[in-house]
Amino acid sequence: VCRIQGTDTVYYSAYDLRDATAATLKNKTVILQSDEVLSNEIYLSGKAFTLDLNGHSLKLKYGEGITPKNGSVIYVGGKNSKLTIKDSSESQTGSVYGSENNYQNKVTSAVRVGNYGKLVINGGKYYGRSEGTSCIFVCTSRASATYATVTINGGYFETATPSNGTYFVLNHEDSATTSCKITVN
C-alpha cells in the first residue's frame, strides 16, 4: 500500500503507480506504507514524482504467466519521466530487491533507466540478487537524444554475484547508451 503525501489518494500496491496519471503524481511524494512483493514490474513512463520507501521494501517475484519486460523492479523511461527515490525512515531500512531469478536477455536490476529517463537516488538500499546482475541499470537506444541520467546522492548498493568476474553495481550498458550519465555525489 502507498499513499500520496498530504492527500487521501491511496494505491493498494506500488505496482498500481503505473496506471496513475502523470498529472496525479506530478511533483508529489508517494509514501510506501508496507513491504510489498510485486508480481510484475513497476513501469513508469512520462511521470515525475518522488517515491519515499519509508523504511519498507519492494521485491519482485514474477507472477505465474508473466513474462519479464525489462527485468527490473522499477523501470523509468519516456519523455518527462523523472523518479526520485528516498527513505525518510529513522531506521533507513527502505529497500528495492531485484528478482532472484535469471531471465534470458534481461538484467534483473532493482531499477532500470531507459530512453529519456531521469533517476535521482537520495537514500535507500538497492540489491541485485540474480546471477551476474546489477543494482541500477542504464540502457537506452543508440540515439544520443534519448540519453538517460542517474544522480546518486546517497544509498547502499549491493550485487550478489559477479558476471565474468566483475560485480556490476551501477551498470551503464556502454554499447547502447550514447551520452547517458551516472553521477555519484
With 0.85 as the threshold, say if the pTM is over it: yes
Contacts of 168 (CB under 8 A, 6+ apart): 128, 132, 133, 134, 159, 162
Q: Given this model, what pLDDT does residue 176 score?
A: 65
SS3 category, 174: helix
Q: Given this model, what pLDDT does residue 174 score?
A: 63
DSSP character for 62? Answer: P
Q: Given this model, what pLDDT does residue 35 score?
A: 97
Rounded to whole angstroms, how far apart are CA atoms 20 and 61?
22
Which parts of the chain register pLDDT below 70? 142-143, 174-177
pLDDT tens-digit series, residues 122-155: 999 999 988 878 899 998 876 677 889 999 999 9
Q: Given this model, what pLDDT does residue 168 score?
A: 87
CA distance readout (Å), 4 to 28, 41, 96: 7, 20, 19
Rounded to whole angstroms, how far apart are CA atoms 16 and 112?
18
SS3 category, 153: strand
Rounded to whole angstroms, how far apart are CA atoms 89 and 76?
23
Ranges of beta strands (E only) in 129-168 are 136-138, 149-159
DSSP character for 24? Answer: H
